[in-house]
Amino acid sequence: MKNSLPEELLPFFSGDVTKIESAPPEWAGRLRVIPARTVADAGLLPAFRCDEVAVRGAGRTYITRGAVVAVCVNRFTGGAYRGLIGDGFFNEEMKGKGT
C-alpha cells in the first residue's frame, strides 16, 4: 500500500493520526480516524474511504465500492490481519459484482 500513497500520508498511515491535517486536498474528505478497542489496548486507527476493494475468500471474490478501510499499524490476532473493512462491505448498495 505504501507505494500507492502520497508521501504526505505515510505518517498518518504509520500510526500518527495527528498528521491527518497534512493530507493533500484530494484526500481530505476520504480520511477517517476510527476508535478501536481490543482486550489488550485501545487507540485510533487511520482509515480511508476506498474507491473499490476486492476480498477473496471461500472460492469467491467480493468487490465493493466506497467501503471504509482501517489500517492496523500493529498486526492483531496472531499477525493474521493488517486491516479492517467497515461493516457496510456486504451492503447491497455498495456491492459490485462477485466472481
Q: What is the pLDDT of residue 54?
A: 83
Kindly list the domain boundaries of the chain, sorted by start residue. 2-90
DSSP state of 91: -
Query: pLDDT 10s per residue in the chain (99 long)?
Result: 555 678 888 888 888 888 888 888 898 889 999 888 877 778 888 999 988 888 887 788 888 888 888 888 776 666 666 777 776 666 554 455 444
> Distance between CA 28 and CA 19 in Å, rounded?
11
Q: What is the pLDDT of residue 69?
A: 87
* Cell representation of residue 28: 481530505
Residues 8-36: tens digit of each pLDDT: 888 888 888 888 888 888 988 899 998 88
